[in-house]
Amino acid sequence: MNVLNRLRAAFAAATPEGGDPSAFAAAVRPAGDPKFGDYQANGCMAVAKSLKKNPREVAVAVAEAVDLEPLAGKPEVAGPGFLNVRLHDEWLTAQVAELLRDPAHGLTAPEAKKTVVIDFSSPNVAKPMHVGHLRSTVIGDSLARIFEALGHTVVRDNHLGDWGAQFGMILWGWKNHRDQAAYDVDPVAELSRLYRLASSKIKEGDRDVESAARAETAKLHAGDAENRDLWAQFMPHCLKALHAMYDRLGVRFDVELGESFYDPMLADVVSDLEAKGIAETSEGAVVAFVEGIKAPFIVRKRDGAFNYGTTDLATIRYREQTWDPDQALYVVDARQADHFKQLFAVARRWGYGKVDLQHVAFGTIMGADRRPYKTRDGDVVGLESLLDEAVAEARKVVDANSPDIEPDDRARIAEIVGLGAVKYADLSQNRISDYVFDWSKMLAMNGNTATYLQYAYARIQSILRKGGVSSESIRDRAPAILLSHPAERGLAVRVLRLPEVLELAASELKPNILTDYLFDLANAYSTFYEGCPVLKAESDERRDSRLALCDLTAQTLKHGLSILGIDVVDRM
């Protein structure tokens, strides 16, 4: 059950005449401090201002009019016009008891099921993944999991860069500078070396290499037999390396339709845009102009070649015709904001405005010097080496805290803790912001880290082991829930909040809303653990109730972390 939605619906029905019910309902939020109740309705002051009335008088009238039963009684009027809502203890107890028997964690089928296409990761296939791919990959994966947890249909699409200029550079390098022995040992490493060689020469101003690489790209696109055969030879090696990385991260895709898939569609896209008067010839190129943006949106270059803007339009049309989605999310860094503004505007003019197209922008991973995170030599950090380092750093933490665990188990735990630390450090940020990559903070056993949450889960498993009970046995017995201690009650309120948190994270497309909730839940459990003896409780009834609260917390932490793509361990 979504408690927040129930309360908001009630307050919307009690909106003062002349007020906006949706805005009034949106002002209902969880209370920041238990002394102000469990939830607060803060819309009376805004309504009073617009109606030129006394806010406290408005609040008193709303408190009398709103019907919150059976969840809560009349709200308390506080300060200049706040309304504090406290859930009935009996209702809260009943909901927690019901949740104990609910494998769905209180989540129910959505009233309106959506189909959501999520375009994320999307690396260039002929190069090893690097730290720059991390944010798109883990943010996109977590959003997919959030929408699925809420009952929506998700299509994960890895829009691979398998056809662009980088392949022309590789083809030039292959024909002029390849090391066959190196390729036989590690194909992707050799292809990456050839790409970097061509790229560095072009950056240094070598026009001959630039021209030759462009010609190789054009030949590939035109169907040249040699270049097509080489492309077909390179692709399986590239995809194998990508899939190994995704497997390690626990990331999957439903489709991987690269730029090459859309290539046969591009000429028709341009012709249709021209026929509908959306695109026109300008200085030899075919472009579309978007109001408010000076630069044109190019769909065919002067030399007749298409670009990724053309491919993106073909992709929008294909997705609508294939999946008929309600929403399409592009998890791409903030530097591409102008491109997506133009793309979406042109797509809507073209007739593909039914889909809610959104650019899910994100900031940059920074080093300690507040510059984009790179190696000491100035190279972009490879993603595989980053993950290896994360696991090595996590192993130090595991070794220091659990020397009694067998080495093989410590290695497994370090893999889970290390990867979880990297993912959580990224997802716990407001995605729009840049953040500084810092191992010591990521792996801290306290603070807002995956390690802290994983430890909280492991600590609960230790209590259950010492008590000789399992999660299954607790749920089978379904003990009576007692919430007389403030820490017991505070924990219960938070456990119930998972559905509303997931809906908010989905509506705002921000996984950090879920990480903040899990951190708050773990802190509430810590308060409970310190103030409420479990195995040494004063009665068997109290002991069983507290074991049930422990298990509910553990299962909520585990489920919440799984939605972020992070595993837990029973011992740390």
The mean pLDDT value for 483-510 works out to 97
User: How confident is residue 304, by pLDDT bands cut at 50, 70 and 90?
Assistant: confident
- pLDDT reported for residue 378: 56
Residue among 440, 433, 438, 453 nearest 515 (CA): 453
Quick: pLDDT tens for 223-270. 999 999 999 999 999 999 999 999 999 999 999 999 999 999 999 999
In the predicted structure, residue 412 carries a pLDDT above the cut 90: yes
pLDDT > 70 in the chain, percent: 99
Tokens matching residue 410? 């410590």
39-55 average pLDDT score: 94
Question: What local confidence, expressed as pLDDT, does residue 116 receive?
Answer: 98
Enumerate domains of the chain plus CATH numbers: 3-87 (3.30.1360.70), 116-360 (3.40.50.620)
Q: CB pairs under 8 A, 24+ apart, for 103-112?
A: 105/498, 105/499, 105/555, 105/556, 105/559, 106/1, 106/496, 106/498, 106/499, 107/149, 107/150, 107/151, 107/498, 107/499, 107/502, 108/1, 108/2, 108/151, 108/499, 109/151, 110/150, 110/151, 110/152
